[in-house]
Structure 1
Amino acid sequence: MKKSLLLFCFVVLFAASGKSQTIPVKYQELLKKMVANKTSDQLIGFAKTLIGIPYRYASSNPAIGFDCSGFVSYVFHNFGVNVPRSSTEFNQAGTPVKLENAKVGDVLIFTGTNPRKRVVGHVGIIADIEGDTIKFIHSTSGKAHGVTVTTLNPYYKSRLMRAVSIL
């Protein structure tokens, strides 16, 4: 919070000086991170409002339900971010990141229900990271049968193919 306030004050004072100077690079990077964090917090906040909407194959309509990629695309499109509609197309979307460098708002790409078949079949959005514990929000045809938040447990880790940064 102190960094945010300090950066905000710096930007305001810098802009008020009336000089046509650029913001130093180290502050530009911090400002970019703050904007990305705010956007990802808003994105996850919106996604959580959809918890409980039932699973519906091939749908991106909240009135009837979501499949996994329909849910992810609906959430990102709500923020004006163009993403693929099908889970397989997410393999070419965004920038790949190592799981240990992934952030809230990044997309996790999984195999289908059979982890031995290394073919994309499911996607979700990282909703929370606490230490080594990652939780993701997704629409599942499994037990929850709809939009839910799930811990990246051993079963999902065995299915994980990659993480990508979209924002």
Structure 2
Amino acid sequence: MKFTLYLLFATAILSSCFEKKETVSTHTPIQKTANGVDRDSIISFAKQFIGTPYLYAGNDPEKGFDCSGFVSYVFKNFDVSLPRSSSEYKNLGTALAPEDFRVGDILVFYGYKDRTIIGHLGIICEANGMQSKFIHASSGKVSSVTITSLDTEHYTNRFYKCIDVLTK
């Protein structure tokens, strides 16, 4: 009798180890508002990818993102089509005054070595003028999607403009 119970128990344990598990996405869908895109929803969606590795030319959360891949991926989820290359943001939109920065606006930065080209992008997640915080795919020390303050010397010196791509 004991042997039969042990055998049943062992069979149950082994069969649960070999069950096929369904793949479930850890990224929850975000609801859109009736009157357009909700700026806070953009940030909630973007924050799901914090820690996703930086990958040059990446635009896939399973593999990694570069800065423009991350921005275009996030906004695409809200049916907002944006350029895939950061260089295409140089002439996109109208520059906003710092007091007009809002959550969901895009920060555009020069390259860290060359101030004639656009080298980086991020999405404002806490709006406070030039002290705003932004979420971005960083190729720096963190080498992943992270949140950074705009008022760090590295980004303040490279700041080109902030644009609103949501208001028509």
TM-score bracket, normalised by the shorter chain, equals 0.7 to 0.9
Q: Which amino acid aligns with 1:67?
A: D
Query: Where does structure 1 lack aligned partners over 5 or more consecutive residues?
Result: 1-33
With normalisation by structure 1, the TM-score equals 0.73
Tell me whether 153-162 or 91-100 shows the greater mean CA deviation.
91-100
Aligned to 2:127, what secondary structure does the other structure show? strand
Alignment of 1:11-160 (within 5 A): 39-114=38-113, 117-130=115-128, 133-152=131-150, 153-160=152-159
Query: Which structure shows the higher strand fraction?
Result: 1
Larger radius of gyration, structure 1 or 2?
2
Aligned to 1:96, what secondary structure does the other structure show? coil
Q: Is the 8 A contact 2:102 2:124 kept in 1?
A: yes
RMSD: 2.1
Q: Taking structure 1 as reference, are residues 37 and 120 closer, same or farther at Cα in structure 2, changes over 3 Å only?
A: same
For residues 165 and 68 of structure 2, what CA distance do their matches in structure 1 show?
A: 14
Aligned to 1:150, what secondary structure does the other structure show? strand
Query: Where does structure 2 lack aligned partners over 5 or more consecutive residues?
Result: 1-32
How far residue 154 of structure 1 moved from its aligned partner, in angstroms, is 2.1
- Percent of pairs with identical residues: 46
Superposed CA offset, 1:46-98 (max 9, x none): 00001000000001111100000000000000000011100011123233212
Q: Which amino acid aligns with 2:143?
A: H
For residues 93 and 36 of structure 1, what CA distance do their matches in structure 2 show?
A: 24
- Post-superposition, which runs of at least 4 consecutive aligned residues in structure 1 deviate over 3 A? 34-38
Superposed CA offset, 1:113-135 (max 9, x none): 22x52320100000102576210
Aligned to 1:133, what secondary structure does the other structure show? coil
For residues 126 and 148 of structure 1, what CA distance do their matches in structure 2 show?
A: 12
With normalisation by structure 2, the TM-score equals 0.73
Q: Which amino acid aligns with 2:96?
A: V
Number of residue equivalences:
133
